[in-house]
Structure formats: structure tokens, C-alpha cells
């Protein structure tokens, strides 16, 4: 049921049935919370403006795009293990390709590529990126990017590029009603750490956007109809939800 990549330092587990990474241990520390490893993600909790434009309906196919694993291969090359997964995304007429390159020190390079069927039509998406869930003890964020407050692609010139050290709690902005929050842009590196300074660092070939919250996307998403809830009424989850995006749609 599993594909396992192990060395004296790293234990990387791919769940063949679910089609996703389920465990990632380095030096005996598990970095994924309850099996929720790094997964493709194209959705955000709709904002007030999203609801106003009815994007929660227009983009609905991307909320759960029905990924079906069609191929899983692995090889060892130059001392590294390369795991390649391919998926069908029939609801959006596309194919998704994920490649994980793992070295014996525990570093993992992840490449995500989607190829759309040019002969079919599909809606735009909120974001193109990945999501993973870490234990709640990973409460500290350090990053080199725009800050210190949240900022998005269409409203980030009011923020400064720099190195920031914050808590995960500080990433959440309590809008009147629950919605997408906490994203930072133009990031060069993003670290999510525990009190001892142990954790994960994310880097990319080009600036990216990211967020880390004690809330899941689902808890901030009021669904197809706005329920007029309040952010303060949403309970924190016992986890740290990390979102890494190549790009995310602006807030409009």
C-alpha cells in the first residue's frame, strides 16, 4: 500500500491508495500531522469579493478536482530517489504531474505541473500550489518576503521586502466574517519552526507566496452560500496548516 524511501536520516512515505505523501520524518521527527502530507491545492476560503462575484460557484470544480492516480514510478539516480506520480483531473480536463526528488539528508525537491486539455473549457482557479499540515507545535514563522502584514498579488506594494520573524497566531487577520487570510507574497524562503528552531524551510526557483495558520481552509470556508459567520467564532485547529503557492488570485 505504501512506497517508502528511507535512509539513516529520512523516512518518506507515499500512500499509493490515496495518491499522496503521508509521512515525512527526518532525524526521527515527523513533520506531517496525522498523515496529511503535501498535496496539490487550487482552492481558498472565498472572500467577500469572491462571493460577490459568485466565484464560489464559478470555480467550484477546483475545490475537489477528483485527482485519480494513474501512474507511480520510482528510480535511484545519482544517489537520490525520484518518485514520479501522474493523475487524471477529469472534472477540469487536465493532467497533473508530481515529482519528488529525495536525498539522503532529508531534503525533498517537489515539482508540480498541470497540463490542460486545450480542446476543453474549464474555469479559472483561485490558486496553483500545495498544502501540507504540520503539528501545532510548529508555531513560529520566519521568512524573507513582503511583510509584516498579509499581502496579495494585487495589493502588495504597501508592504516592504525583508526578513520577518512572527508566530503562526500572528498570521491570522480576523476579518468580520471567515475568509482567506494570512498570505504573504514575493517570498524567497519560508520557515515553519518549533520552539527549539526545528522545522521545515521552503524555497523555490522563483518568488512564491505562502501562509501558515492554525485554521484549515474548510473551517474558514462558509460554502456555496455566505452564512454571515464571524471569524472569532471559528475554533482554532490543533495543527499548523501550511500553504505554498506558485501564484494566488488577487483579492479584487
Written as nine digits, the cell of 140 is: 513560529
DSSP 45: P
At residue 214, the pLDDT reads 98
CA 249 → CA 107, 177, 183, 194, distances in Å? 29, 20, 11, 30
pLDDT by residue for the chain (252 residues), tens digit each?
A: 999 999 999 999 999 988 999 999 999 999 999 989 999 999 999 999 999 999 999 999 999 998 999 999 999 999 999 999 999 999 999 999 999 999 988 899 999 999 999 999 999 999 999 999 999 999 999 999 999 999 999 989 999 999 999 999 999 999 999 999 999 999 999 999 999 999 999 999 999 999 999 999 999 999 999 888 999 999 999 999 999 999 999 997
Pairing state between β 127-134 and 108-116:
unpaired
CA distance 56 to 52: 9
Q: How many helices (H) and strands (E) does the chain have?
A: 3, 15
pTM: 0.95
Q: How far is CA 186 from CA 89, 118, 124, 146, in A?
A: 29, 30, 22, 6
Q: For residue 104, what pLDDT is reported?
A: 86
Amino acid at each position: 500500500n505504501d512506497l517508502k524511501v528511507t535512509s539513516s536520516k529520512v523516512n518518506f512515505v507515499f500512500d499509493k491508495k490515496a495518491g499522496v505523501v503521508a509521512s515525512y520524518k527526518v532525524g526521527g521527527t515527523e513533520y506531517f500531522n496525522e498523515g496529511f502530507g503535501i498535496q496539490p491545492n487550487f482552492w481558498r476560503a472565498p472572500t467577500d469579493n469572491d462571493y460577490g462575484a459568485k466565484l464560489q460557484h464559478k470555480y467550484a470544480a477546483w475545490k475537489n478536482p477528483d485527482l485519480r492516480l494513474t501512474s507511480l514510478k520510482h528510480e535511484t539516480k545519482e544517489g537520490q530517489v525520484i518518485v514520479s506520480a501522474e493523475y487524471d483531473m477529469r472534472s477540469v480536463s487536465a493532467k497533473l504531474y508530481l515529482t519528488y526528488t529525495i536525498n539522503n539528508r532529508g531534503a525533498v525537491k517537489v515539482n508540480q505541473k498541470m497540463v490542460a486539455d486545450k480542446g476543453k473549457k474549464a474555469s479559472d482557479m483561485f490558486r496553483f500550489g500545495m498544502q501540507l499540515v504540520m503539528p501545532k507545535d510548529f508555531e513560529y514563522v520566519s521568512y524573507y518576503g513582503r511583510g509584516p502584514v498579509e499581502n496579495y498579488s494585487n495589493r502588495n506594494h504597501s508592504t516592504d521586502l525583508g526578513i520577518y520573524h512572527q508566530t503562526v497566531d500572528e498570521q491570522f487577520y480576523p476579518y468580520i466574517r471567515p475568509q482567506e487570510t494570512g498570505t504573504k507574497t514575493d517570498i524567497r524562503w519560508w520557515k515553519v519552526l518549533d520552539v527549539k528552531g526545528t522545522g521545515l524551510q521552503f524555497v523555490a526557483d522563483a518568488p512564491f507566496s505562502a501562509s501558515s495558520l492554525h485554521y484549515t481552509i474548510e473551517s474558514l470556508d462558509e460554502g456555496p452560500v455566505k452564512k454571515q459567520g464571524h471569524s472569532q467564532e471559528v475554533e482554532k485547529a490543533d495543527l499548523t496548516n501550511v500553504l505554498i503557492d506558485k501564484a494566488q488570485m488577487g483579492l479584487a
